[in-house]
A and B are shown apart, each in its own frame.
Chain A
Amino acid sequence: MEPIVSYQDVTKTYGDLKVLQDIDFNIYPGEKVALIGPSGSGKTTLARLLMTLERPDSGTIKVNGENLWQEKVNGKLVKAKEKHLHEMRKNIGMVFQHFYLFPHMNVLNNVTEAPTTVLGLSKEEAEQQAVEMLEKVGLSDKLDDYPSQLSGGQKQRVAIARALVMKPNIMLFDEPTSALDPELVGEVLDVIKEIASEDDMTMLLITHEMEFAREIADRIAFFNDGVIAEQGEPDELMNHPKTPRLQSFLSRVNS
C-alpha cells in the first residue's frame, strides 16, 4: 500500500536547534497515528510542515504521492508556489491546541465561513452541512453563541467541526486537549474517538493523553530530540518500551 503521507529525510532547524533531523516517516491511508514525546521533541513541527505552516529546510514531503513543497514546472522540480500549496491543502485539515476560533463570528458562522468563502458553497448548503457537523460534535444548541460564551471543551469541538466540514482526508490534531481544564478533556476526546471509529480518515494525533493514544491509535511514534526514537503498535510500545528514553518518558507520564 502506498503511503498517503510520506516524509523523506526531512530536516527543520530553528537557529541552532535541529528540531527535526533526517526524518523518514510514512502514514498509510485510514491509519490513526499518535505522536507522543516530550515538549520540543519535534512532533508539532512535523504536523506544521505538513499543514504548510512551515517549510522544511531539506527533504521531501509527499501527499498522495505528490510532492508538497515542490512542483514540476517544464519537467523540472522547483519550489512550490502558493497555487500548488493551495491545491495540496485541500486534503489536509488541522485542529490546534488553542482552538483559534474566529471571535467576531458566532458558532454557526465559524463553521460556515470557510465552506462559503473558500469552497464557494451557497449559504444554505454551508449552513446545512455546518448544522450537521455541529450536531455530530454535540453543539446544536450553541449555534448563535459567540466563542467568548463557550467553555474550552466547547470551543475545541467547534474547531473540530470547522475543520471537518472542509472534508479533508487527512486530519491533524496538535495537542487538542492540552489547553483544557481536566474535566473538559473527556468531551473532546470522545468526539475525536467517534470521528476515528466511523471514518476511514487518516489521522495524526499529537497528544499527552496516553490512554487515549493507546485506545485510538493503530500506531504510536515516540519523538525525542528531533528523531523518532521508537514506534510500533500501541500496546506493545507502551507495555514493552525498548529504548531507555521511552521507558523514562512513560514512567514520568504515568506517575
Chain B
Amino acid sequence: MWNWKYAFSILPKILSALKITIGATFVAFLLALVLGLILSVLVRSKVKIVSLVVRGFSQFIKTTPLLVQLYFIFYVFPKIGISLKPFTAGVLGLGVHYSTYLSEVFRSGIESVPAGQWEVAKALNFSRSQTWMKIILPQVIPPIIPVIGNYLITMFKETPQLSAITLVEILQTAKILGASSFRYLEGFTIVGIIFLLLSYPSSQLIKKLESRLRTEN
C-alpha cells in the first residue's frame, strides 16, 4: 500500500507549499491580534453606537462558519468591486474571524485588571491612552499569552479551509498530487504528520510557558 519512493518524491512539493500555510497563519494571526485588541477597546466605548456596532459585528462573525465568510470575501466581494487574491482573501477571512475570539480574551484580561488601577491612573493624571499603554495593557498581556498561543495553533490547523478559495496550501497540494497520481495515502499522511510535528511541540511549549508564568506570579 504505502510506497516510500512515491512519498519521498512528493515531499519537496508539499514542503514548498508549507511556506504558504505558515505565511498565511502568521499574517492572519497578526491581523487577529491587532483587530482583536481594537475591538476589545472599542467595545468599552462610552459612545453607545460604537459599542453596539462592535458587539453586533463580533456576534455575527462568531456565529457564522469561517468557510461561509471565506466564500463571501472571495466570491461575493468582487461583485461590489473588491477583488482579492486567494492569499489575501484567506488571511482576511481567517484573521477577522479569529479577531472576534481574541477580542474576548483581551476583554477578559482587561476586566481582570483591578478598577483601582484605572482610578490611581486618573489621580496621577495619566491620559486615557497613557493609561492603556503604560498601566493597563502591560498587566493584561502576560497572563493571556498561553491562551493567545493556543489560538495561533488553532489558526494554523484552520489553514486547510483556505483551500476552498483556491489557496494552494499543503492540504490542497496533496490533493492535487493525489488527483494526478491516483495515490492519496502518502500525500494526506505526510500533511497530517506535518501538522502534528508543528502543533504538538508548540502546544507543549505553550504549556511550559504557562507554568513558568504561573510560578512567576
CA distance A9 to B130 in the complex (A): 34
Which A residue sits closest to B141, measured CB to CB? A104
CA distance A162 to B117 in the complex (A): 14
Docked complex: A59-115 residues within 8 A CB-CB of B: 82, 86, 89-90, 92-94, 96, 98, 100, 102-104, 113-114
Which A residue sits closest to B217, measured CB to CB? A148
Given contacts A100-B114, A100-B117, A104-B139, contact A117 B123 (CB under 8 A): no
Q: Is B135 in the interface zone, CB < 8 Å from A?
A: yes
CA distance A113 to B142 in the complex (A): 20
Which residues of chain A come closer than 8 Å to B142, judged between CB atoms?
104
Task: Judge whether B122 and A51 touch: CB under 8 Å.
Answer: yes
A residues engaging B (CB < 8 A)? 51-53, 82, 86, 89-90, 92-94, 96, 98, 100, 102-104, 113-114, 117-118, 159, 162-163, 166
B residues engaging A (CB < 8 A)? 114, 116-117, 119-120, 122-128, 130, 134-135, 138-139, 142
Pick the contact of A117 from B122, B126, B139 — CB < 8 Å?
A: B126
Which residues of chain B come closer than 8 Å to A162, judged between CB atoms?
124
Task: Judge whether B124 and A166 touch: CB under 8 Å.
Answer: yes
Task: Judge whether A163 and B124 touch: CB under 8 Å.
Answer: yes
Task: Judge whether A90 and B116 touch: CB under 8 Å.
Answer: no
Task: Judge whether B130 and A118 touch: CB under 8 Å.
Answer: yes
CA distance A90 to B117 in the complex (A): 18
Closest 6 CB pairs of A and B: A100-B116, A100-B120, A114-B124, A94-B123, A89-B125, A104-B138
Which B residue sits closest to A92, measured CB to CB? B123
Pick the contact of A114 from B126, B128, B139 — CB < 8 Å?
A: B126
Given contacts A117-B130, A118-B130, contact A51 B125 (CB under 8 A): no
Interface centre among A98, A114, A159 (most CB of B within 10 A): A114
CA distance A86 to B138 in the complex (A): 23
Task: Judge whether A118 and B124 touch: CB under 8 Å.
Answer: yes
CA distance A89 to B134 in the complex (A): 19
CA distance A100 to B124 in the complex (A): 12
Which residues of chain B come closer than 8 Å to A166, judged between CB atoms?
124-125
Which A residue sits closest to B113, measured CB to CB? A103
> Other CB < 8 Å A-B pairs besides A93-B124, A104-B138, A118-B130, 6 of them?
A89-B122, A89-B123, A92-B123, A96-B120, A113-B134, A166-B125
Task: Judge whether A118 and B126 touch: CB under 8 Å.
Answer: yes
CA distance A114 to B128 in the complex (A): 13
Which residues of chain A come closer than 8 Å to B138, judged between CB atoms?
104
Which residues of chain A come closer than 8 Å to B130, judged between CB atoms?
117-118
